[in-house]
Amino acid sequence: MIDCHSILVENLECEGNLSEEEKKIKTLIVSTNREDWVHMIKIIENFNVDIYEFGIGLHPWFIKEEEYSHEEDINYLKELLIQYPKLRIGEVGLDKIRKTTFPFQVKLFQQQLQLASQYQRSISIHCVRAHGTLLMILRELNQQLHIEPPRGFFFHSWSGSDQITKDILRLNRIGRFCYFGISAKINAKNLDLISAIPPDRIITESDLFLNDRNRLDLLQSALKSIQLLYPKLNNEKIEENYQEFLGFQKNN
């Protein structure tokens, strides 16, 4: 199975408790704040687990109003991206449930998107009740880029309208690099939402902590929902989408 969005746990001690099936789940593990990045780097340096990919990012829930500390965070993020060329960016994004920090969220999201372009990294994006702003930012990025981005954009547990999904896919430079996450936790029952996404842009995700024992069940249940609409979209095809998002394959 593919899990394109699982959240970091402090150590991988839990690995020992995972079943053989769980150990085969190819997973993008994301982090949300500076403290997590430090744990993540420790994991990368101490474990040689090739089923995992890693993302570092500043998540909107961890953005504070004092702007100064974020500049340091962004600089540190940049250093880590340079030092660890295999790191992805995520999770980052916008969340209007935290209204007070929204202007800072926009700014930091844009900075992290720029870093993704600059260092050619795939990026995992969280968006809650801010899809209009997200589209506006993506349109700006689409205009700025003179060439197609070499790596993908993943909208995890996607909750945007049909129209926004179509508008994103239509962006002439970045649209074909956009992928959408389906999780049993948030959107897998919403077949209207899934039907707006072409099958070659769908990726399963758990949206759960890495040591959550429900991960496998929820991934299987998300895939079942997807297959109600796209019966031929099996695990192998989802994996192709995942690899393309990560930049391992490109079907030019």
**Which residues fall within 8 angstroms of residue 250, CB to CB, at 6 or more apart?**
244
131 binds Zn ion (CB under 5 A): no
> What would the two tokens of residue 41 be?
């780097």
Distance (Å, whole) CA 238 – CA 225:
13
Is residue 126 a contact point for Zn ion (CB under 5 A)?
A: yes
Closer residue to Zn ion in complex, CB, 55/149: 55
Q: Judged by CB, which is closer to Zn ion: 126, or 176?
A: 126
**Cα dist. 42→38, 78, 124, 249 in Å?**
6, 17, 21, 28
Stretch in the footprint of Zn ion (CB under 5 A) among 62-70, 119-127, 144-152, 244-252: 119-127
* Shortest separation between residue 157's beta carbon and Zn ion, angstroms: 6
Binding residues for Zn ion, rule CB under 5 A, total 1
Q: Between 26 and 126, whose beta carbon lies closer to Zn ion?
A: 126
CB of 125 to Zn ion, least distance (A): 9
Distance between the two ends of the chain, CA-based, in angstroms?
A: 25
Beta bridge partners, 69, equal none
**Which one of the spans 18-26, 39-47, 81-89, 121-129 is the region binding Zn ion (CB under 5 A)?**
121-129
CB of 156 to Zn ion, least distance (A): 6
Are 134 and 99 spatial neighbours (Cβ–Cβ below 8 Å)?
A: no
Stretch that binds Zn ion, among 122-130, 138-146, 181-189, 213-221 (CB under 5 A): 122-130
Biggest CA pair distance of the chain: 50
By C-beta, is 126 or 151 nearer to Zn ion? Answer: 126
Q: Minimum distance from CB of 146 to Zn ion (Å)?
A: 31
Q: Which residue type sits at 39?
A: H
Q: How far apart are CB 127 and Zn ion at their closest, in Å?
A: 8
Nearest distance in Å: CB 36, Zn ion: 13
Assess contact for 50 and 26: CB atoms under 8 A.
no
User: Position of tokens 């504070």?
Assistant: 64
Stretch that binds Zn ion, among 120-128, 135-143, 167-175, 217-225 (CB under 5 A): 120-128
Nearest to 241 by CA among 188, 184, 182, 195: 182
d(CA 40, CA 47): 10
Q: Which is nearer to Zn ion, 157 or 211 (CB)?
A: 157
Residues in touch with Zn ion (CB under 5 A): 126
